[in-house]
Amino acid sequence: MKSRQAIGTALVVCTADRPKEARRRVLEQFDHDELAQLAQHASLHRVVPFLAAAVRTSEVPVSDEAAASLARTHATRTAAHLRVLADLDRVRSSLSARSVPFLIVKGPVLSEHLYPSPDLRSYEDLDLLIPPGSFERAVDALREGGSLLLDRNWTLTRADTRGQLHFQLPMGTLADVHWHLLNRESVRDGFAITTEHLFERSREVDVGGRSLPTLDPVDTLLHVALHAALSGGDRLIWLKDIERALVVEQPPWDAVIERARAWKAGRSVAITLNRARRSLGAPVPDEVLDDLFASRLWRGLSDRIDRRSPTERSVGRETLAVFWAQLTRDSGSATARAVLHRASRRLRAMAHGGSSPGAIFTSSGTEEDARKFLERVTSEGTRSASSEPDAQ
């Protein structure tokens, strides 16, 4: 069996923009069983389409079983993307009928707009962003349009003032409907992102032959970089999103730095920009990382952690590299608060026998809790819009 280092290196060669000959040389080193091991690692990092494309274009001989497995994965992802586009049409119709503005973030926008072929960027669900003041109308419009609201734990949703609700769309797509890009209130408090400003800077892009609203190029880059950080920064597909956003859209670095600081997300963004450069060759200048880290010590620690735990070798466990990305903030005090929030949440989960990722779908609370939650969303949006400095 291949070492984790060898598997990680091979996966980087297949995912990065490396020459065909380089892909062929690295894949020839894998026998049948080792190729299955590589495919399993690619699945964890959500870059199976890149591995499949590398196998196909490098003309490395593989077993019929391996070829069929890769082909099935490709077909499944393509069908899922087409289903999402069909559901998107229903969503747009439902929201437009109630004059609800919306943005599409990540998902089909990334796959269609940033990648050379949409089947290269797989995704599991659809993310919609709604202005806080229109959020209740959006919930009503989606339900009237045949979408199923999945959330049942209004006690938890209200207590945490969650930044999203979950829907199943008419054709089966799962959708996260956000009023804020960040879900947990304890996480939002460490940053300064205002939904209204995202809408003010938004633009239209082509998604499967239809023009749809999304974040502007700078916000797109910052969002995928911050999302990667808060998720642990340990999947190659998140780093690939960053690399594609830089190569395709080339957002101006002065605007990226200014807005990252306004979001209070400079160090979080710097961590994943640095990992995307280290693993996939993303074009990130040294001086940009210096500006975003704003501390030679902080950058040095980050470099040391990344050298010890390169993203491509991650096997999905919680490591220092994961915690570093998730909990780093732009100030020492904010970082300390993030660490304390995480520790207290873990302790509460242990006291209740462990946390459940499906807790939000367990029935708890009343319709009054749901109403109070929606009222809080409206008031939170108004408060944040009046307090955040806008960075254009």
Mean pLDDT of 229-239: 98
Closest CA to 139 of 366, 377, 357, 380: 377
Q: For residues 85 and 101, what is the distance between their CA atoms, to the nearest angstrom? A: 18
Phi, psi of 294 (to 5 degrees): 55, 25
The 10s digit of each residue's pLDDT in 28-67 is: 999 888 988 999 999 999 999 999 889 888 878 777 777 7
pLDDT at residue 386, as a whole number: 52
Closest CA to 170 of 150, 151, 142: 142
- 153 has pLDDT over 80: yes
**Which CATH code is given to the segment(s) 63-387?**
3.30.460.40
Segment among 194-203, 265-274, 355-364 with least mean pLDDT: 355-364
Q: Where residue 301 falls among pLDDT bands split at 50, 70, 90?
A: very high
pLDDT at residue 201, as a whole number: 97
- Provide the percentage of residues in the chain whose pLDDT is more than 90: 77
Largest CA distance in the chain: 63
The 10s digit of each residue's pLDDT in 333-346 is: 999 999 999 998 88
Mean pLDDT of 178-195: 96
Q: Where residue 357 falls among pLDDT bands split at 50, 70, 90?
A: low
- 391 has pLDDT over 50: no
Cβ contacts of 310 within 8 Å, gap of 6 or more = 8, 278, 279
Average pLDDT, the chain: 91
pLDDT at residue 124, as a whole number: 82
Buried/exposed 289-300: b ≥16 CB within 10 Å, e otherwise: bebbbebeebbe
Q: What is the CA radius of gyration of the chain?
A: 21
The 10s digit of each residue's pLDDT in 81-103 is: 888 999 999 999 999 999 999 99
- 122 has pLDDT over 50: yes
Cβ contacts of 48 within 8 Å, gap of 6 or more = 39, 42, 70, 73, 122
CB atoms within 10 A of CB 82: 13
Cα dist. 314→45, 135, 322, 328 in Å?
Answer: 8, 37, 9, 19
- 276 has pLDDT over 70: yes
- 389 has pLDDT over 50: no
pLDDT at residue 354, as a whole number: 55
Q: Where residue 382 falls among pLDDT bands split at 50, 70, 90?
A: low
pLDDT at residue 61, as a whole number: 77
Residue 264 Cα to chain centre, angstroms: 18
Beta bridge partners of 174: 168
pTM: 0.93
Three-state SS across the chain? Answer: CCCHHHHHHHHHHHHCCCCHHHHHHHHCCCCHHHHHHHHHHHHHCCCHHHHHHHHHHHCCCCCHHHHHHHHHHHHHHHHHHHHHHHHHHHHHHHHHHCCCCCEEECHHHHHHHHCCCHHHCCCCCEEEECCHHHHHHHHHHHHHCCCEECCCEHHHHHHHCCCEEEEECCCCCEEEEECCCCCCHHHHCCCCCCHHHHHHCCEEEEECCEEEEECCHHHHHHHHHHHHHHCCCCCHHHHHHHHHHHHHHCCCHHHHHHHHHHCCCHHHHHHHHHHHHHHHCCCCCHHHHHHHHCCHHHHHHHHHHHHHCCHHHCCCCCCHHHHHHHHCCCCHHHHHHHHHHHHHHHHHHHHCCCCCCCHHHCCECCHHHHHHHHHHHHHHHHHHHHHCCCCC
- 392 has pLDDT over 50: no
